[in-house]
């Protein structure tokens, strides 16, 4: 089970540790495990060879020969997180080994049963999620070295080579860049509780700097990830079986349920970072966007979801600033919102390059396999990606406060 997180009462100061959020790494799992107990060697042997097995069309055969293993020897939370990542990665490779045109419709019981059990223990869905691909999937080459691309490596991989490595590790750096912003949220909520304008101003200034650092970290995507490889090779292994024309009825988890189950693929919306910033800044999105964003919270570790819910229940920063009237805090609040608008604009440009433009090039080259054409204008989470991101950005712009308000 994930360590239990109590929902905070509004009069109790917010703290990151209560929600298993690291003061050093934020939502990233600190120092993730790289191996499971020997009992689970059959899983690890497959997971560590995924790119080779998928590219040589051998993974499905290995999965069919995989023994059904008992999950009771996964005794720690960190072991369960690694097990979830391993089983999720094997599942994605198994389903999509032959491309979008020939997805597997049934997950064998030797994979489905333990995957669902580990997922239930963690409060996560049985599919690859952001907490697998990114939060649990990093290690330092030199443990004492810095958290930067040259000193980082993934634990589990898919086809895609250096571009896949770059995609995962740049996202790790985005999560790390958010850490000062998360600390600023806690400082800001306490400042509101204590009616301390000076402390609130300091927190808002720190939040703005953190959002700007996130944008700079995201910019490294262009240095490490080839758009055509992302679109034509990597993307399908992040795709799910909900709102996906390639798998309209979902996936049967053999030995778990007789009817197919539907789960969304990986999505940046499964990161808790921007959810947290939106909650703190009081940014309200349109009904359709809120529906998707809140559904994505079910794909987060439950303690991270609880953090977002308690941020939402906490006293309103916007109301506090409006009540306080024009001044430095209102200006600093608007600068945070402006930085968030810039981040969301930059994210739209990244998505346009890596999905929309790459899809156009794939069409012009006549690629029909394995490129996921049924998902051309959709994110791997199943949304009509550009219209969703533009709507989210527009609602962020609308959150700016008029100094005379």
Kindly state the percentage of the chain with pLDDT values over 70. 92
Give the Cα separation of 21 and 212 in Å (integer): 21
Q: pLDDT tens across 64-82, in order? A: 999 999 999 999 999 999 9
Pair 160, 229: CB distance under 8 Å: yes
Instruction: Report the C-alpha gap between 130 and 298 in whole angstroms.
Output: 11
pLDDT at 6 over 50: no
| Phi (first) and psi of residue 159, to 5 degrees | -55, 150
- pLDDT over 90 percentage in the chain: 84
Q: Where are the domains positioned within the chain?
A: 21-398
Q: What pLDDT sits at residue 366? A: 67
- Per-residue pLDDT averaged across 295-320, rounded? 97
pTM of the model: 0.93
Q: What is the DSSP letter of 201?
A: H
Q: Containing H/E element for 122?
A: helix 109-122
Whether the ω angle into residue 370 lies within 30 degrees of 0, i.e. cis, is yes
* pLDDT for the residue numbered 361: 84
Evaluate whether 244 touches 103 at the Cβ level (below 8 Å): no
CATH class (in words) of the domain with range 21-398: mainly alpha
Strand partners, 139: 153
pLDDT for the residue numbered 368: 44
What the block records as the tokens of 195 is: 């009616």
pLDDT tens for residues 192-234? 999 999 999 999 999 999 999 999 999 999 999 999 999 999 9
Question: Does residue 43 surpass a pLDDT of 90?
Answer: yes
Q: What is the pLDDT of residue 325?
A: 84
Which helix or strand (DSSP H or E) is residue 253 part of?
Answer: strand 252-253
pLDDT per residue over 83-104, tens digit each? Answer: 999 999 999 999 999 999 999 9
pLDDT surpassing 80 at residue 8: no
Place 362 in a pLDDT band, splitting at 50, 70 and 90.
Answer: confident
Indicate the range of 6-10, 20-24, 52-56 predicted with least confidence. 6-10
CB–CB of 20/3 below 8 Å?
Answer: yes
Confidence of residue 380 (pLDDT cuts 50, 70, 90): very low
Mean pLDDT of 320-333: 94
3-state SS, residue 200: helix
Higher pLDDT, 364 or 116: 116
- Using pLDDT thresholds of 50, 70 and 90, give the confidence band for residue 3: low
Q: Is 311 exposed, middle or buried (0-12, 13-18, 19+ CB in 10 A)?
A: buried
DSSP 351: H
Residue 235's closest CA among 69, 86, 372, 398? 372
Residue 52 marked as a ligand binder? no
Phi, psi of 139 (to 5 degrees): -150, 150
CB atoms < 10 A from the CB of 141, how many?
Answer: 9
Q: Which residue has the higher pLDDT, 91 or 352?
A: 91
Averaged confidence pLDDT in the chain: 92
Q: Show Cβ contacts of residue 187 under 8 Å, excluding neighbours closer than 6 positions.
A: 199, 202, 203, 206
- Of the pLDDT bands very low, low, confident and very high (cuts 50, 70, 90), residue 14 is confident
**Position 356 confidence tier, pLDDT thresholds 50, 70, 90:** confident
> pLDDT higher for 360 or 396?
396
Residue 249: name the closest of 236, 237, 238, 262 by CA: 262
Predicted confidence band at 12 (pLDDT cuts at 50, 70, 90)? low
Q: What is the pLDDT of residue 385?
A: 82
The Cα 238–Cα 89 span in angstroms is 9
The whole-angstrom separation of Cα 163 and Cα 159 is 9
**Residue 226: count of CB within 10 angstroms of its CB:** 20
Q: With a cut of 90, say whether residue 304 has pLDDT above it.
A: yes
| Element (DSSP H or E) covering residue 286 | none
In sequence order, the β-bridge partners of residue 378 are 384
DSSP 341-372: HHHHHHHHHHHIIIIIIHHHHHHHTT--SSS-
């Amino acid at each position: 089970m994930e360590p239990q997180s109590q929902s905070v009462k509004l009069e109790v100061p917010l703290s990151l540790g209560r929600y298993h959020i690291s003061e050093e790494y934020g939502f990233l799992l600190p120092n993730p495990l790289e191996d499971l107990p020997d009992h689970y060697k059959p899983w690890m042997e497959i997971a560590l060879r995924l790119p080779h097995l998928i590219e040589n069309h051998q993974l499905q055969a290995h999965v069919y020969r995989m023994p059904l293993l008992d999950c009771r020897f996964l005794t720690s939370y960190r072991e369960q997180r690694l097990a979830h990542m391993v089983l999720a990665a094997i599942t994605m490779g198994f389903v999509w080994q032959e491309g979008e045109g020939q997805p597997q419709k049934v997950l064998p019981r030797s994979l489905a049963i333990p995957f669902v059990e580990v997922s239930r223990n963690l409060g996560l869905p049985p599919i690859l999620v952001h907490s697998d691909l990114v939060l649990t999937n990093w290690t330092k080459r030199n443990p004492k070295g810095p958290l930067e691309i040259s000193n980082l490596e993934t634990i589990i991989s898919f086809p895609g080579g250096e571009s896949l490595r770059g995609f995962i590790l740049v996202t790790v750096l985005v999560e790390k860049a958010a850490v000062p912003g998360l600390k600023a949220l806690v400082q800001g909520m306490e400042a509101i509780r204590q009616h301390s304008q000076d402390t609130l101003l300091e927190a808002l200034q720190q939040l703005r700097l953190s959002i700007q650092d996130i944008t700079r970290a995201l910019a490294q995507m262009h240095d490490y990830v080839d758009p055509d490889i992302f679109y034509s090779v990597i993307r399908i292994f992040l795709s799910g079986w909900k709102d996906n024309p390639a798998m309209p009825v979902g996936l049967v988890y053999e030995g778990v349920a007789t009817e197919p189950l539907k789960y969304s693929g990986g999505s940046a919306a499964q990161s808790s970072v921007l959810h947290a910033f939106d909650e703190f800044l009081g940014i309200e999105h349109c009904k359709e966007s809120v529906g998707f964003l809140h559904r994505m919270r079910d794909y987060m570790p439950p303690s991270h979801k609880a953090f977002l819910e308690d941020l939402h229940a906490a006293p309103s920063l916007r109301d506090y600033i409006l009540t306080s009237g024009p001044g430095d805090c209102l200006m600093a609040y608007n600068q945070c919102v402006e930085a968030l608008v810039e981040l969301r604009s930059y994210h739209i440009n990244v998505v346009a390059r890596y999905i929309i433009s790459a899809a156009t090039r794939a069409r012009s080259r006549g690629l029909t396999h394995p490129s996921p054409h049924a998902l051309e204008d959709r994110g791997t989470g199943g949304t009509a990606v550009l219209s969703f991101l533009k709507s989210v950005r527009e609602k962020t712009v609308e959150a700016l406060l008029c100094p005379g308000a």
